[in-house]
Amino acid sequence: MEEALAAFQAGDYARALDLWEPLARAGSARAQANIGACFAEGMGVPVNPPLALKWLTLAAEAGHAAGQRNLAALYLRGGEGVEPDFVRAAELYRLAAEQGDALAQDMLSWMLLEGEVMPSDPEEARRWALAAAEAGVASSMTRLGMLYHHAMGVERDVAEAARWWRMAAERGDADGQAMLGAAHHLGAGVGRDGVTALAWLIRASRGGSTLAQPFLPAVRASLDPGQMAEAEHRAAAPLEAFSP
């Protein structure tokens, strides 16, 4: 197993699969989950949803948390030969979340806020987001900021919202960066600072966040050319060196 993981981490997926296959056929849930994930994502093999379903189901039924989470993701998006099943996805995310899988906790939190598969429950969504955030999942940090900003399941606290957005932004979450930039633009929970706002919004936009777009024109309009150049310079710096 360790040799397979080393090969996988080195990008030698074919070697990892060769090593995992006999382990998976012998009943190793961990190996089954890893093979299933490779077929789901096309790592070392062509994407094959039915084979991903086969191996991930075996791992999930054995109680393997990552297998449950990856099977949930497969049901969430569906694929050739696999019908989307949002209810089953939610069930699997919950099983994995209850085992402490932080990525599953993050997804369960998101589904609890969407309210499409299960009744919207901001309080439970916050509980799972907090668990994931404490494990370092940046998207859950951003979600906690949203919950505090919009008073969903908690009293409104814009300073707490900004604190969570900063934690997410510093870990590279584009939506967290967008919301922190917006907070600096509006002076919501943090000092009003157009240069800092623009720097974070530029980073967020380059990172793919659509949340940044509505704020960019107003922030740019509030700055002179020198300030905009400073914001661009700070946005281009490595994240670890970024100190707005």
| pLDDT, tens digit, 9 for 90 and up, residues 90-143 | 999 999 999 999 999 999 999 999 877 788 899 999 999 999 999 999 999 999
- Cα dihedral sign for 160, 143, 171, 197? negative
What is the distance of C-alpha 214 from the center of its chain? 22
pLDDT value, residue 244: 53
Residue with the bigger pLDDT between 14 and 166: it is 166
What are the distances in angstroms from CA 162 to CA 9, 81, 148, 165, 205?
35, 43, 9, 5, 18
pLDDT value, residue 1: 83
pLDDT digits (tens, 9 = 90+) for 62-103: 999 999 999 999 999 998 889 999 999 999 999 999 999 999
Residue 53 has which token pair? 């379903």
Whole-structure pTM value: 0.91
Res. 180: pLDDT tops 90: yes
What are the distances in angstroms from CA 86 to CA 71, 79, 92, 126, 180?
11, 13, 10, 20, 31
Q: Which one, of 181, 189, 187, lies nearest residue 220 by Cα?
A: 181
pLDDT value, residue 60: 98
Mean pLDDT (the chain) is 94
pLDDT bucket at 215, cuts 50 / 70 / 90: very high
How many angstroms separate the CA atoms of 118 and 91, rounded?
A: 10
pLDDT digits (tens, 9 = 90+) for 146-158: 999 999 999 999 9
pLDDT value, residue 242: 65
Say whether domain 138-244 belongs to CATH 1.25.40.10.
Answer: yes
Res. 2: pLDDT tops 90: no
pLDDT value, residue 240: 78
* Sequence spans of domains, the chain: 1-136, 138-244
pLDDT value, residue 243: 55
Res. 241: pLDDT tops 80: no
For domain 1-136, give the CATH superfamily.
Tetratricopeptide repeat domain (1.25.40.10)
pLDDT value, residue 165: 98
Percentage with pLDDT > 90 across the chain:
85
What are the distances in angstroms from CA 189 to CA 173, 185, 199?
19, 11, 18
Residue 185 has which token pair? 């633009």
| Coarse DSSP helix, strand, coil percentages of the chain, rounded to the nearest 5 percent | 70, 0, 30
CB 66 within 8 A of CB 88: no
pLDDT value, residue 91: 97
Half-sphere exposure for 4 (CA within 13 Å, toward CB): 18
Tell me if domain 1-136 and domain 138-244 are identical in fold: yes
